[in-house]
Structure 1
Amino acid sequence: MQESPSREPRLKIEQYIGIQIRRQRQDQGLKTAEVARMAGISQGMLSKIENAQVSTSLETLGRLCDTLGLPLSRLFSQYDQQERDALLVKAGEGLEVVRRGTDKGHTYHLLNHSRGPKKSLEAYLVSMDDASEEFPTFSHPGTEFIHLLEGSLVYRHGNHLYEMGPGDSLTFDSDVPHGPERLNQVPIKLLSIMTFKDD
């Protein structure tokens, strides 16, 4: 299910600082000459810092951060987070799981898994191919987002019915009973993303 990423060498601290300073400067629409002047350093020095050609002193770095309104603590806050992996699920490799409705012709492929002590998000690719089936309603904590990729259906949320076609999306409180009311055109594929509140 999870493909290991190819690993690039870890950014040196000078490279990381240069990227963050340049990004902050560009986000504010500032030119190197302006920032250098306000920070009391030469434009050439700022260029070298941004391009990781020099190791700057903490004093100079502090002046740069003050000029850009960037706290030093925030500058370094993401440096140690570069090693966190993302989760890549290739097409067709989602884990098939059993949920309510599986025996009704639904197929659920889990596209992610929890990456911490608390479950905060689940994403499924749901396939339905039998228009004659009756469907259960669902109710669970959190918020759900569904996006219809293929087919058309009527989706129920509480007392409301929503006609959905390819490209349509619906977001709702998932503790209210919900589920497919009628499949108008099969096969149907929809992306379902559920988020859960922290306790």
Structure 2
Amino acid sequence: MAKATIGEKIKKLRKDKEISLEELSKNSGVKKDLIKDIEEGEIIPSLAPLIKISRSLGVRLGTLLDDTIEEGPVIVREGKAGKVIHFSGQEDETSESHLDFYSLAAGKVDRHMEPFIVQVEPHKDKFKLSSHEGEEFIYVLEGEIEILYGKEKYHLREGDSIYYDSVVPHHLHTRYDKPAKILAVVYTPF
């Protein structure tokens, strides 16, 4: 399962670099208990803590997400990526996935952007905003989404897009309790 694989990679990188849980927590700003739960596959993390952890470990976000390495271009036909990565929309604690990420560049070496097709499922959780370094581009393929961005709220429907700085606290979710599908491109500086 993807969440265990990501956790195992974090744990291996941390141990290879001789970094304790406490050090990684301090350096990344991610709670120690959250890192431990991610490493043990107990929770499904959001992108925000994964980006913070990857930067603290000195690796690209893709290093945590990829299974194989591709030197040349990566092609995904008809938007049908083979591997799905389940993320929550919450940074701290959750075991439910509301966002299914289909990577469109899995394995591409040294990439700086992470393009995904994301299936966004409705949920009734309290929306907690999170932030991380980088930028995001969102294009709505199907349905409608709502993005809380700082103190603003944006409603996007099919064909709409938004480009924003990820350092501003934000949260993306469906609107009207109906699923949506988006193209998301996440840029994280390395």
Q: Does the CA-based 8 Å contact 1:119-1:196 persist in structure 2? A: no
Q: Does the CA-based 8 Å contact 1:126-1:189 persist in structure 2? A: yes
The separation in 1 between residues aligned to 2:172 and 2:155, in whole angstroms, is: 10
Post-superposition offset of 1:126: 1.3
Give unpaired runs (5+ residues) of structure 2. 1-70, 90-94
Aligned to 1:139: 131
Aligned to 1:169: 161
**Alignment of 1:110 onto 2:97:** no
Aligned to 1:97: 85
The number of equivalent residue pairs is: 114
Q: Output aligned runs, 1:16-31, within 5 Å.
A: none
Post-superposition offset of 1:85: 2.6
Q: Output aligned runs, 1:11-90, within 5 Å.
A: 85-90=72-77
Give unpaired runs (5+ residues) of structure 1. 1-83
Structure 1 range deviating more: 104-113 or 158-167:
104-113
The 3-state SS of whatever aligns with 1:122 is strand
Give the residue type in structure 2 aligned to 1:166.
E
**Structure whose CA Rg is larger:** 1
**CA RMSD for the aligned pairs?**
2.4
Post-superposition offset of 1:181: 5.5
Give the residue type in structure 1 aligned to 2:100.
T
TM-score (norm 2): 0.52
The separation in 1 between residues aligned to 2:87 and 2:128, in whole angstroms, is: 11
Q: Does the CA-based 8 Å contact 1:145-1:170 persist in structure 2? A: yes
The separation in 2 between residues aligned to 1:181 and 1:173, in whole angstroms, is: 17
Return closer, same or farther for 1:159/1:114 CA change in 2, 3 Å cut-off: farther
Give the residue type in structure 1 aligned to 2:87.
R
**Alignment of 1:160 onto 2:160:** no
Identity, in percent, stands at 25
Give the residue type in structure 2 aligned to 1:171.
Y
TM-score (norm 1): 0.50
Post-superposition offset of 1:88: 0.4
